[in-house]
A = this chain, B = another copy of it.
Amino acid sequence: MKQQQLIFNERPNGLPNASTFAIKEVKVGSPKQDQLLLKTLYISVDPYMRGRMADGPSYISPFQIGEPLNGGVVGQVITSESNQFQQGDIVTGMLDFQEYHIVNADQVRKVNTFGLRPSVALGPLGMPGLTAYFGMMHIGEPKQGETVVISGAAGAVGQIAGQLAKRAGARVIGIVGSEEKAAYVTETLGYDHAIQYKHGDVHKQLKQACPNGIDVYFENVGGEIGDAVWPLLNAFARIPVCGAISSYNLKEGERDIGVRVQTYLIKARAKMQGFLVGDYTEHFKEAYEELGKAIASGELKYEETIREGFESIPDAFIGLFTGENIGKQLVKVAEQE
């Protein structure tokens, strides 16, 4: 039995394109003792994967040319040779991008979907949702009446981060890249205001939208958008730095040049903290329960942008950097059985 596998074909210089990827046909294989055969249902494409396409040390190993890409996958157990899993179980893990998987039982975990579509395990109940949770609740710590600004506000992380700040009683302003996203964050998610960065001077727009300054800035974008925020920071502002997507596609030798932040941090006695969801594993369980209940009850909303078919992974990934997705970008590979 043959399947498709997505190969990392070429290191991109700048924005990834079709030749960054290649599709290979490989054999499926069969599970041994304590192994599972999984069918891929959903594949997650995420901006952080761009970092793995560069060579050099980081918190996560770089992709190797000629080897499969790898990331968040939701699959269904087809054959179980483990007493921990049954046929039909929905599981998730960090797996190679291919249609089927032979995995050891400890490489995946069963998903409690709270009755929702299993894709939630890659979005609001997966890495993006937990990232939003820890960044906002453990670093941002929004308080009643404070002003919270979120860049990439309609994205997989931003959509959850902003609602958590609303729930804490803050005034929430989302920075987004389109009319449709502005409507989504204000009408569906309940943010107080949306700023469209393509509508000109972000600093001016922010100044108008934040007459009392900014207490929390949840950073997903960086670049000129971050620069527009610094002069508006209030005393003891917090800046969880989740991402800086505007700089991920710099070409070789280019540096991310802009406003240096030090004087603004001193003036505001502000704290700016980079973080990764993986640093909070000891709190995963409580966060997962809290998010799961809030999402299942409809208290927290979310959106998914889903492309169909294994071969659409490259386009789905590239679209992350051109702002095509609202909420979590996924690729649906197969129907659940």
Contacts and interface: CB of A to CB of B under 8 A. Distances in A.
Count of chain copies: 2
Contacts of A257: 257-260
A288 interface: no
A243 B262 CA distance: 7
How many A residues are at the interface, by size bracket?
A: 35 or more
A120 B242 CA distance: 43
Contact of A270 (B58, B243, B247, B273): B273
Which of A242, A247, A266, A268 counts the most B-chain CB atoms under 10 A from its CB?
A266
Nearest to A272: B272
A199 interface: no
Interface SS of chain A: helix, strand, loop or mixed?
A: mixed
B260 A241 contact: no
A314 to B, nearest CB: 23
Interface stretch (A21-29, A111-119, A171-179, A274-282): A274-282
A273 B275 contact: no
A276 B269 contact: yes
A263 interface: yes
Contacts of A108: none
Nearest to A224: B260
A285 interface: no
Given A267-B58, A267-B59, A271-B271, A262 B235 contact: no
A308 interface: no
Contact of A265 (B247, B258, B268, B274): B274
Contact of A274 (B226, B256, B259, B266): B266
Which of A226, A257, A264, A269 counts the most B-chain CB atoms under 10 A from its CB?
A269
A271 B269 contact: no
B256 A259 contact: yes
27 contacts: A59-B269, A219-B262, A222-B262, A222-B263, A226-B260, A241-B265, A243-B266, A244-B262, A244-B266, A255-B259, A256-B260, A256-B263, A257-B259, A257-B260, A258-B258, A258-B260, A259-B260, A260-B260, A261-B272, A265-B273, A266-B276, A268-B274, A269-B275, A270-B273, A271-B271, A272-B272, A272-B273
Enumerate the 3 nearest inter-chain pairs by beta-carbon distance, A residue then B residue, closest first: A265-B274, A266-B274, A244-B262
